[in-house]
Amino acid sequence: MKSCVNGATTMPYTLEADILAAANAGFEGLEIWWDKLVAYLEDQSTGNLKQLLTDAGLRPVSICPLRIWPFRDSEPARREFREAIQIAPQIGCHLLAVCPDFQPARLSREEALAIHAEELAVMARLAAENGLRLTVEPIGGHTLVPGPTEALQLIEMAGAPANVGILMDTFHYFRSGVSDAEIQAIPLDKLDIIHVNDCEDGALNELTDAHRLYPTLGVIPARQLSILKDKGYDGYLSVEIFRPEYWERPVAEIMDKAYSTLGELVASL
């Protein structure tokens, strides 16, 4: 399995700072946070960014988060997606992470999923035209897509595009109570990347992103990662943590701690 870090882990810092600190810490890949990418490109080119990544020896593993949002702010979300599918190939990135919208009260779950599926099918076609893959991220406690079973169902409803898979996030799966059996049932060719993190103890419905911790420092068991390792998963493990307390630390310190605790997690599997 390969090491990666997500730009959310160092949220206040720039994309350039992320790249340099991630490379110095020893990471092999970087998930590029969309807002940081937009800010970088205000006065830099995609060519400069690709060169910066190459010089650092980092692979741009994904751009995230983009949104399947058919029920609110649809046009801004679609505009961002159209921009992302143009930018990604220029920097050597081939994966876009997309997050689902929530179920409106006026619609049944089936109706809301059907509308999502229509939107996802269009996004998949546009991504394919640019040689890109989409990965759907289930969200902890989500009304429509809380885990891998629902994400795979959504993809099937969208026509099962070959360029669409799913993402695992240990925090979100923990919050949603995803079972070992569900993990075992994930086809490896549909599992694009794994976000790894830990979290504080607490009632599942009260946990928020701010309760995330570095890997191995909380209560999330590593058992499900071991299941996937035994199945043959050899993709990226990406540290993604939204903790303001961590964000106050120097970027190099955050990256070094993320890398060392990821190493401890991998060694325990």
pLDDT tens readout for residues 91-149: 999 999 999 998 888 999 999 999 999 999 999 999 999 999 999 999 999 999 999 99
pLDDT above 80: residue 72 = no
DSSP state of 104: P
- Distance between CA 34 and CA 268 in Å, rounded? 32
Backbone Cα Rg of the chain = 18
pLDDT tier for residue 74 given thresholds of 50, 70 and 90: confident
* Token pair recorded at residue 163: 């360029």
* Token pair recorded at residue 252: 């190099």
pLDDT tier for residue 34 given thresholds of 50, 70 and 90: very high
> Is the full-model pTM beyond 0.75?
yes
CATH number of the domain at 2-268, please?
3.20.20.150
